[in-house]
Structure 1
């Protein structure tokens, strides 16, 4: 059975999230400066969300990278001369890991849609929110836009990698079925050959 190895995908996902986090912090810093210079409530609101989400995403990416490094060390210390039973166990663990990652990404993608909706709702409710708080409506517009942009990117990221994980799992299943079919055909051939030899005797 082919093992659905998602290790490389996890590294790619963490790297992409880290790059987005760094970009968000950089862009947020620039926009915050511009917002202060121009006294733009919209830019201030947008910059605040961009900086905040960038910091959170960066922390998540950093933790993910640390966990992956620990996993890589443990795998490097593993015994390559594993028994057949141990290899089967590893294959099952790999499949379970792929399934877990897919469910996590799908769940996150659903949350991301909620973030986008919350951002849009904030923009639509900018007027009432302004009347209830000391912040101008344009700042609430910036806050909502910032949330929507961050949620939109995270949705694209999570949905893309969820699809790739599902594709890897599907390919491993197809590979297993192909191997099983080939094994059955070889067994049939051996049985036919054995019968032929018996009949000739």
Structure 2
């Protein structure tokens, strides 16, 4: 798969995930028992949606991202995703932030899978 296809799929999948996260998060935010999970899910969805939109806009204006640069960014993001998983796990241990922590774990796990798979799919040219 070429780098442009990877980049296009990446922003498409991220945008779809973002829209679903905002919708599910909004619904779950209504009930007190799921408010923390819903709040975090909607917030992450909003940020992911903005990232996907900017990525799509930039690709249309400037063309595809240099494959080596895109791979580097994705690998850095994967490292951050591991940090999100650790933060979510720590929040899961608290009574007050358990729902938020569960949402951070879900978001971090998804993003780690997405970023890692996209980085692995970019041809290295060697």
TM-score higher than 0.5 here?
A: yes
Structure 1 portions without partners, runs of 5+: 76-93, 127-136, 174-201
2:70 counterpart of 1:116? no
Q: 2:51 aligns with which of 36, 45, 60?
A: 60
CA RMSD in angstroms, aligned pairs only: 1.8
Q: For 1:103 and 1:18, how far apart are their aligned partners in 2?
A: 21
Matched positions, count: 126
Distance in 1, Cα, partners of 2:29 & 2:83: 26
Cα separation, 2, equivalents of 1:32 and 1:102: 35
Indicate the structure (1 or 2) with the bigger Cα radius of gyration.
1
- Gaps spanning 5+ residues in structure 2: where? none
The two structures have a TM-score, normalised by structure 1, of 0.59
Alpha-carbon distance, 1:5 to partner: 4.2
**Structure 1 ranges of 4+ moved more than 2 A:** none
Quote the residue 2:40 is aligned against.
49
Distance 2:89 2:44 in 1: 16
Instruction: Check if 1:153 corresponds to 2:122.
Output: no
How far 1:71 sits from its partner (Å)? 2.6
Q: Deviations over 1:87-128 (max 9, x none)?
A: xxxxxxx8xx2111111111100100100110001111x1xx
Length-normalised TM-score, structure 2: 0.93
Hey, what's the Cα distance between the residues in 2 that align with 1:152 and 1:12? 18
